[in-house]
Amino acid sequence: MSGLDQLRRDLGAAMSGADSALAAADRLCQACVELLEVDGAAVSLVHAGSSQGTFGSSGELSRRLDALQFTFGEGPCLDSVRDRTPVLVADLADPTEQRWPAFRGAVLESGINAVFALPVAIETSPIGALDLFCNRSGALTAQSMSGGLLAAELAALPLLDLMAAGVAWDSAGQSDHGWQQLASLARVEVYQATGMIMAALDISPTDALVRLRAHAFAYGMTASEAAWAVVERRLSLDSDDWRSEPGQPSAGSR
């Protein structure tokens, strides 16, 4: 058996026996860390140029790094889906690397120095990306790159299972648990918080989301963390921080 065949077998075996599609995706990401010489992995779902949620991750840090791509509206997984090709950055600290300034800075602060995004597709349509994170700088080995491409193919399988699970409805008219899991990936808290900001400041949905992201960036949070703080009323929308235009000083800072 070739090394690549063994990788395929080991990655597939890691997903076997998972009790849910999301658990299978998590196991796949954990296997990537064990088998591909990387320090973290996450699968991000992408629609209309925006990260829609984390479908699987090897751990909390990888999930947070994926969430930062939504927070800043930039990052390798978004480019990978848009361009339908792998995006490989062996050294995020390289001064010639000018992409994703906000995302790159946050990732470097987290101790990650290299990131590799590989498209995840259903049939021929990219619906997300597998992000592989490395603490050290340096390119993936040929074996790890081949294994990453295999993992990106396998990542589509639990998503297909999750979608297929939703075709049945129970006697009470409730959708199957598969669709409930898929719905849980949506950043519902962000939309709730955006609505609250719209109402409080009398601004458009686009401006409300911009302000939420700007607040998250200013205070070192992800958009989801800032949104939960709004929804749970731990952040006051009366603050000048919210009423100032993004990028402009608040009244209290003048």
CB 227 within 8 A of CB 215: no
Averaged pLDDT of the chain: 81
Average pLDDT over residues 144-150: 95
Residues 52 and 126 in one domain: yes
| CA 194 to the chain's CA centroid | 19
Residue 103 lies in a domain: yes
Closest CA to 130 of 193, 89, 86, 175: 86
| CA 223 to the chain's CA centroid | 12
Residues 158 and 192 in one domain: no
| pLDDT score for 172 | 37
Query: Does residue 108 carry a pLDDT above 90?
Result: yes
CATH number for 224: 1.10.10
Residues 193 and 113 in one domain: no
Residue 180 lies in a domain: no
Residues 112 and 64 in one domain: yes
Closest CA to 41 of 139, 111, 130: 130
Residues 37 and 71 in one domain: yes
Residues 156 and 203 in one domain: no
Residues 210 and 116 in one domain: no
Instruction: Tell me which residue range forms the domain holding 230.
Output: 188-237
Q: Which helix (H) or strand (E) holds 116?
A: strand 114-122
Residues 41 and 152 in one domain: yes
* Domain final residue pick, 110, 132, 167: 167
What dihedral do alpha carbons 80, 85, 91, 96 form, nearest 10°? -90
Closest CA to 64 of 207, 217, 223, 214: 223
Residues 148 and 23 in one domain: yes
Residue 216 lies in a domain: yes
Q: What is the pLDDT of residues 192-246, one digit of tens each?
A: 788 888 888 888 777 887 788 788 877 888 878 888 888 888 888 876 667 666 5
Per-residue confidence band for 189, with pLDDT thresholds at 50, 70 and 90: confident
Residue 179 lies in a domain: no
Residue 245 lies in a domain: no
Q: What is the pLDDT of residues 49-92, one digit of tens each?
A: 777 778 889 999 998 888 898 888 899 999 999 999 999 999 99
Residue 136 lies in a domain: yes
Residues 159 and 227 in one domain: no
Residues 194 and 162 in one domain: no
CATH number for 67: 3.30.450.40
Per-residue confidence band for 180, with pLDDT thresholds at 50, 70 and 90: very low
Residues 156 and 206 in one domain: no
Count of domains forming the chain: 2
